Amino acid sequence: MKVLAAMSGGVDSAVAAARCVDAGHDVTGVHLALSSNPQSFRSGARGCCTLEDSRDARRAADVMGIPFYVWDLAERFREDVVDDFVAEYAAGRTPNPCLRCNEKIKFAAVLDRALALGFDAVCTGHYAQIVNGPDGRELHRAVDPDKDQSYVLGVLDARQLAGAMFPLGDSLKSDVRAEADRRGLSVADKPDSHDICFITNGDTAGFLHDKIGTAPGEVVDESGAVLGSHDGAYAFTVGQRKGLKIGRPAPDGKPRYVLNISPVDNRVTVGPAEALDVDEVTGASPRWCGPEPVGETSCLAQFRAHGTPVPAVAVWDGDALTVRFVEPQRGVAPGQAIVLYDGTRVIGSATIATTSRPVPATTE
Amino acid sequence: MPDLVYLDHAATTPVLPEVVEVVAAQMRAEIGNPSSQHRAGRRARKVVEESREAIAAALGANPSEVVFTSGGTEADNLAVKGLYWARRAADPRRTRVLISAVEHHAVLDAAEWLGKSEGADVELLPVDRNGRLNVDALHDTLARDPESVALVSVMWANNEVGTLQPIRAIVAAAAQQGVPVHADAVQAVGAVPVDFAASGLDTMTISGHKIGGPVGSGALLARRETELVPVLHGGGQERDVRSGTLDAASIAGLAVAVDHVTAGREESAARLASLREDLVDGVRRAVPDAVVNGTDDPAQRLPNIAHVSFPGCEGDSLLLLLDAQDIQCSTGSACAAGVPEPSHVLLAMGADPLLARGSLRFSLGHTSTASDVDALVAALGPAVERAKAAGYVNASKDGK
């Protein structure tokens, strides 16, 4: 097969590309330039878009003896990922930009271009497994539970999955590092990248402040009583406890948490921990990795990249998706992606549109 | 592995066998620093000075006008910065740097640096749709306060589209106002007649590896009366303008290359012009909507460069597809990260930015053959179809 290997300059994508070469594929490496104004050198462990990363990727490609190019996707990335990220926060939601990047950039803009240029698949260093099942290709969790990235790939539909290769899904990260070293890839010791690649200093609130500006509003309790003020509702996430700057303690003395962010009246509502309980969410624009699970499906639901999957029942009628948790959950917020699993298999994903609190049980 | 079809001689061209021989012989020869007083030094100095004389003779210069450098980029930097500093030191009003809009980055970025760090006012001189300088505009620009102009820099032949500049007319315009002119002649030497004295230029850059000489060799030809402030300070070699131990082996190779390409220029230019004609005809047959950039007039362009835009294609898609078939060409420009940007040369010529992105430069050289051209023509049609299907990778959704 002719394979296009996306190479970030990190250890994972380099080993993934090398494994493709070993498997006998005709491999071409591509580094995606996602920042229109890249920095020269990496600072700390963040991101993958510096000139140094581009050089690391090129060096790895040279060691493998494969062609290597840089594709400039900065403009598409800005529109589809960064602008979307800012708009979601401005609307009071908590997005995960990695899912958007996989959905719109890596397995859309890049995959489409690769297929048009005559490639058969795009290979990445994601930790996830593709398994041939009775209904076609299935996306499964990686063998390494600490590195599993099936959550951020839950947005891939069957067509995208058909053009994807994840050669690291059956490996442990530590083995991949050792393999990179054995192969003479100088990236073997590079630290893992994490956090949001386009916020290089890790200061999400500062980044959003630069983009959205100051928008003072009120912090209120569930009754609507004003407890304090804020400089921008986007700086808060549901479930947040610290940094609320409320002078007055709660009447019951218990800590208060962000319960709701309302962009319409720019209000942040706070309340007790119990009020964070969510037992049902609705999902917007669901994407299915395989056959659509019509009707009621018992499944596991995960709503954070490294969150614990929890038992749930998904109801999909071809139009609306509802997910009921068997036990109430905390830290669930609109904008987050909810990914549904059948065991290790990814069923699909959706963006959480609304959350519902359990109706309080009547007590004597 | 099949033979490479190498159509990127303007990037670098194979070293001539006679250059390899003389460089290797010099590297094996007795030790000696050309600046030393003893016999070993004298031996090395003899090699350097004979090379200097050969280069001067081939290019219409006086031997003392040849300043050896590490290549074209250093020579351009020495000319632009050296002239600017010397002229401004003589008269602080001289802060304007007039350069063509299609200069090589070695001139463009050196001038921009002077603008940012040394108080220069850099003015880009416009070119027409063929990339040729508008001499009337130069006259007007010079006439607007001539006392404030430090230098003019216009390349002899453009490295991307191959357009020749009217050097004589440019020098005449500047001479009226007493302003020195620098020309980057890296692509011109060996391709068109180059005579330094007859040109009237004050400084001129040549490079070794574009003509079959060693990479890292080059020279700035600088008239004896032209004052230059050094960029590199040190041992005072090369008229105290360019310090650094002279590389006798590399300089000997440069001299052999200059001698070879100037002596064989007419024959080689005729052969390459005919090959280029076949290439352009073949490209037009394979891709009827292809746009050949630069002038059609053979008297106003290099014989060996064809620069072509392919509507609806991303240049780096074409590069990838042709590279996969071992056909080597260039999109004409690349930055450190390898991110392609639309060429400043094409933009200055008024090209549509999207069309500019779909451009390839094919450049022929001494090892080029008809079978290279045939291989390109055979591969190009299908590659363009594929690249069109792939579209513009980074086009924004509103089609910009």
- Enter the ipTM: 0.85
What pLDDT score was predicted for residue B341? 74
Q: Which of B189, B193, B376, B192 is nearest to B275 (CA)?
A: B376
What A301-304 contacts at long range (C-beta under 8 Å, 24+ apart), as own/partner pairs, is A301/A325, A301/A338, A301/A339, A301/A340, A301/A341, A302/A151, A302/A338, A302/A339, A302/A341, A303/A329, A303/A331, A303/A332, A303/A336, A303/A337, A303/A338, A303/A339, A303/A352, A304/A151, A304/A331, A304/A336
% of chain B with per-residue pLDDT over 70: 96
Interface check A109 vs B, CB under 8 A: yes
Chain B residues within an 8 Å CB radius of A28: 320, 324
A70 with B323: Cβ contact below 8 A: no
pLDDT of B399 above 60: no
Q: Which of B1, B31, B299, B335 is catalytic?
A: B335
Interface check A28 vs B, CB under 8 A: yes
What pLDDT score was predicted for residue B371? 97
Chain B residues within an 8 Å CB radius of A79: 396-397
A117 with B390: Cβ contact below 8 A: yes
A69 with B320: Cβ contact below 8 A: yes
Q: What is the pLDDT of residues A104-131, one digit of tens each?
A: 999 999 999 999 999 999 999 999 999 9
Nearest CA in chain A to B394: A73
Chain B residues within an 8 Å CB radius of A72: 339-340, 393-394
B339 with A33: Cβ contact below 8 A: yes
Q: How far is B388 from chain A (nearest CA, A)?
A: 9
CB pairs < 8 Å spanning A and B: 59
Q: How far is B394 from chain A (nearest CA, A)?
A: 5
Q: What is the pLDDT of residues B213-240, one digit of tens each?
A: 999 999 999 999 999 999 999 999 999 9
CA dist., res. A6 & res. A182, Å (int): 21
The residues of A annotated as belonging to the active site are 101, 197
Nearest CA in chain B to A116: B390
CA dist., res. A300 & res. A360, Å (int): 24
For an interface test with B, the pick among A71, A104, A110, A111 (most B C-beta atoms closer than 10 Å) comes out as: A71
Residue A184: how many CA atoms within 13 Å on its side-chain side?
A: 6
What pLDDT score was predicted for residue B400? 39
B394 with A72: Cβ contact below 8 A: yes
What does the pLDDT average to over B68-80? 98
Q: Which regions of chain A are under pLDDT 70?
A: 37-49, 194, 360-364
Which of A31, A75, A117 comes nearest B394 by C-beta? Answer: A75
A75 with B396: Cβ contact below 8 A: yes
Chain A residues within an 8 Å CB radius of B394: 71-76
Q: What is the pLDDT of residues B337-379, one digit of tens each?
A: 456 678 899 999 999 988 998 999 999 999 999 999 999 999 9
Q: Which of A9, A113, A5 is nearest to A51 (CA)?
A: A9
What pLDDT score was predicted for residue B330? 92
What does the pLDDT average to over B329-344? 69
Which of A51, A79, A112 comes nearest B337 by C-beta? Answer: A51
B339 with A70: Cβ contact below 8 A: yes
Q: Which of A20, A189, A164, A19 is nearest to A103 (CA)?
A: A164
Chain A residues within an 8 Å CB radius of B390: 112-113, 116-117
CA dist., res. A141 & res. A154, Å (int): 10
Residue B361 sits at the vertex; the CA angle it makes with B356 and B365, to the nearest 5 degrees, is 165
Provide DSSP, A168-199. Answer: TTTS-HHHHHHHHHHTT-GGGGPPPPBS-TT-
Chain B residues within an 8 Å CB radius of A38: 337
Nearest CA in chain B to A66: B324
The mean pLDDT value of chain B amounts to 94
DSSP 8-state assignment for residue B144? S
pLDDT of B334 above 80: no
Interface check B336 vs A, CB under 8 A: yes
What pLDDT score was predicted for residue A188? 78
pLDDT of B57 above 70: yes
User: Comparing B12-26, B30-44, B82-96, B245-259, which segment has the lowest mean pLDDT?
Assistant: B30-44
Q: Which of A261, A201, A260 is nearest to A232 (CA)?
A: A261
Q: How far is B8 from chain A (nearest CA, A)?
A: 17
Structure tokens at B181: 């002119």
Q: Which residues contact A223 (CB under 8 A, 6 or more apart)?
A: none
Which of B321, B337, B389 comes nearest A70 by C-beta? Answer: B337
Interface check A329 vs B, CB under 8 A: no
Distance of CA A114 to the CA centre of its chain: 23
Which of B319, B389, B394 comes nearest A116 by C-beta? Answer: B389
**Which positions 356-395 of B are in contact with A (Cβ < 8 Å)?**
386-387, 389-391, 393-395
Q: How far is A117 from chain B (nearest CA, A)?
A: 5
Which of B316, B336, B396 comes nearest A69 by C-beta? Answer: B316
A109 with B396: Cβ contact below 8 A: no
pLDDT of B191 above 80: yes
Q: How far is B389 from chain A (nearest CA, A)?
A: 6
B393 with A73: Cβ contact below 8 A: yes
CA dist., res. B372 & res. B386, Å (int): 21
The mean pLDDT value of chain A amounts to 90
Interface check A72 vs B, CB under 8 A: yes
Report which residue type is found at B142.
Answer: L
B391 with A113: Cβ contact below 8 A: yes
